[in-house]
Amino acid sequence: MMAGGTELLGDAAHVHGVPDQHGIGEQAEAAGIVHDLLVVIARRYTYRTCVEAQRAAYATGIPHLSAAGEAAIGAMTAAKDDRVRGEAWRPVQADEQVAGELRVFAAAVERRFGDAGVRQMLRAGGRPGAVIAASVSPGQQSAVDRVASVTVTIKAAERAAAAVAQRHAESDRQGQRRGLWI
């Protein structure tokens, strides 16, 4: 039947303003309203979740380093190249107290500034004034600069130590190969 063209168009007819006789259009309209409400609720939940996470991050304190921690950072900062820096990292990791302190420091920085903030610190290379955080007042910029510098030093030492370890492992493998061929 094509009375008024509704039979030919079926369910799509009501969605576009042509009434149907089975109430399907009303169900579709109600489903649309429910969907819109769910979208609004999801957006509010996401916004609240983001704000709560941001507040928690802003409340995260970054611990001061002990004299031993500062000495370790100083030794790694003074290193002229990655090989020396990697070698300086070994005794730091052997001292459980200092190693734990640096891990806690790095974790607090990541919680406080997030992955993007840490990446910004690493890209800036610890340059004073290069890292800007919305939650930090201009009077606290020197503290952010110090945190960025220490973070860059820790990450550089970790990478350098990994490279030194890899070179040692490759050297050991080469020695083993030479020993097998003799």
pTM above 0.85, yes or no: no
pLDDT tens for residues 82-117? 888 888 898 888 999 999 999 999 999 998 888 888
- CA dihedral for 133, 137, 143, 146, sign (positive or negative): positive
pLDDT tens for residues 109-139? 998 888 888 999 999 988 888 888 777 778 8
Band of the pLDDT at 1, cuts 50, 70, 90? very low
**How far is Cα 163 from Cα 9, in angstroms, rounded to an integer?**
69
Band of the pLDDT at 73, cuts 50, 70, 90? very high
Closest to 147 (Cα-Cα) out of 176, 178, 107, 177? 107
Residues 8-36, mean pLDDT to the nearest whole number: 61
Ranges of each domain in the chain? 3-58, 62-181
Quick one: what percent of the chain has pLDDT higher than 70?
76
Q: What is the mean pLDDT of the chain?
A: 79
